[in-house]
Every structure is written in C-alpha cells, then in structure tokens.
Amino acid sequence: MTEKLKWDVAGDISEEIKDSIKGQTPSWKNYLSHVAAEHLDKESKEKTHQGAANSIEATEIEKSERKLHLGSDFEQMLSVIAEKSPPPVLESGGVMALLATNEFFDIEEIKKELPIELDGYIFGVGAGNIYSLTHLFDPEKPPRAIMSVDVIPEVVLVGRIAIQLMKRTGNFNEFLRVLQTEEMFLEEAHEVIEKETSQIVKQRLQAVNVKSVLKDIGGQAVHTPTNGIIEYGFHDRVSVFAAIRDRWEVLQKLAREDNIGIGLADMIDGEVVASVSNFGEFRNTANVIYVTNIIDHITDRGTNFGENDKRLRAMGTLQLLDNGKSVFLDTTQGRNYKLRVSQHLPEYSRDDFKITRLF
C-alpha cells in the first residue's frame, strides 16, 4: 500500500494561524497602500478648507484615490512580516528560475479539469511560470491580481524589475531589450532596492550579484520561441518570455494598475497565508494557488519524506486558501515538472519523488 502524505492537521489550522499572529499589527486592515492613504488624508484636509462649494469635486477626487493598489500593498505587507519574522535563507541548488522554469503543462488539458471558470487571483511562488498561468484565464476576464513570493532574493529582485518594465515599456520587444541592457537593468535594480522598506529584505537584495543575474536572464531570453509558449527541444518546458509576450496586454494592464506584486517570503508562512486568504474577494472567487514544487524542497526531493514532521505540517497552512472554488497547481521533480491541477491541497506519496528520466 502506497504511503500517502495527507494534511491531517491536529486542531483548527485557522485558529493556529490566528494565535501565531495574535498581538501583531494588522498589515492589510484597509487594503490601501501608504501612498493612497497619504493622498486621502491630504484630500480630506483640503476639502475641509475648501468648504461646501468644492465638496462635489473633492468627493470625485477622493473616489479616484480610493482605487486599490494591490501589488504594492502585497509587497508592503510582506515587508512588515519580514521585519517581525525574517524569511528563511534557501541557497539555490542550481540555475535559478529567473523569468524561466523547468515546468511544462497542457493549457487545454488543465482548463478541462477546472471545476469552474477562474475569476479571482493568482497566488504562488517565483518570477517564472506564474506569469504563464494567466493563460488559464479568459483573456476578457484576466486575474484580479498576481501575488508572488520567493525566499531567494535574486528571484524577488528580477521579479520586481520585470514588473517595473511592464509598466514603463511600450511593447514586449522593448521590454525584452531594456531587460537585457546592463545600464538600464542596473538602474532598475537600484530603484527596486531603494524602494524597499524592510531593512532585512533590502540587505538581502543588496547582496545579489546583479551582473550575474543579468547574464542568466540573457541566456534564457535567447531561447524564446517565435510561436507558442513551449521551448521545443527543451523537454517541452514553458518559455516564460513567450508566455509574457503572448499575454503582454493583460500583464501590462495588471502592472500599470499596480496589481502585480512579489516579495521575499515563505509561501507557507502562517501570517502570509492568513493575509492572502483575507485579501479582497479571495474567499469568494475561483483562484489559482501555484504551489509549484515546494514539496521537493521541504522533503529534500523526497529523502526526508514524512520525517520532517514540523515542516510538513506547516504546509497545511495552505488549506486556509481552499474555498471550494480555487485550484492548486503543483509538481515534483519525480513528475518531471509537469504541472497538475487539484481541487484541494495536493497529497503526496514517495512515488511522486521517483525520477523516471533525467533531463
């Protein structure tokens, strides 16, 4: 009989999360960015001095300032958490997934397995295949926001640079060119680091070898296929650059509306999960929870399967994101990095870690 790893968590996991953050200042109480809040305060004071004659105009301004900034709010929330509970340090064991991935998936196959049409958010790991998941949404109904975390600072730095360039460049070709131009890339990296409010996160971003990162990005960009998002000849893995190109208008709109964010954090951190579960309409929408292959790292590719009880049990926090509509996408090295879709937090057996072929 195959041993299965199930998320049988003793007690109510939501209560456990609640207890773990008791006494801490809520970071997303009103879901407004600090910038928006400052504007609201300023407008309120000006409205008082202007009097009733200008009240209609001030009200309209106030409405426009109330537009949510989900990306920067998400990043700010992670910065607050990082100061209280620093993210774990995980050394990359090989080539980092900087706007790249080893994963592959059949878009139409996964769409058929979706219980309902997606209409919510994407929450997951990295600055790679998470962008490809926008292909699972109807182009006319894109995700409301993309929220990503990673414990590797190189990934966070590149992810934020990419978001900035999605906002500033006019088209994908310009995005790709600027991303590979050393002077411009260094300027963008400097701006990302200066904006970071957490000293812990800032220090880790400052330690990144930016020129080495730029070289890795250039090496991935040259493999961008002309058509489709699959890098044929590379074991059918997804080309992240091609995925961004094919969903450029959707991603640029999300970026310009400040609805994409990435921060340095552990996806299974209790406070991170609790905050995401209370985010906007997350509890009521059909979302994508992109788990990727974090179980590989937790179990050291299955060699510690079922032995690191504390860490395995911690992954159960993701159950809080299961609202009966959302789906989980995951994979393992043993599955040759092919993504699968599950309507609940995935279960694993030792067979999931058996390597059937080598890349």
Which pLDDT score, from 0 to 100, does residue 97 have? 79
**Range of weakest confidence among 20-29, 323-332, 335-344:** 20-29
Contact criterion met (CB below 8 Å) for 328 and 291: yes
Q: Please indicate, yes or no, whether the overall pTM of this predicted structure exceeds 0.75.
A: yes
Cα–Cα distance, 286 to 289 (Å, whole number): 10
Q: Which one of 23-37, 205-219, 340-354 scores highest in mean pLDDT?
A: 205-219
Q: Which has more pLDDT, 88 or 157?
A: 157
- Encode pLDDT of 165-217 as tens digits: 999 999 999 999 999 999 999 999 999 999 999 999 999 999 999 999 999 99
Determine which helix (DSSP H) or strand (DSSP E) holds 47, and give its type and residue range.
Answer: helix 34-50
Cα–Cα distance, 68 to 165 (Å, whole number): 21
* pLDDT over 50 at 114, yes or no: yes
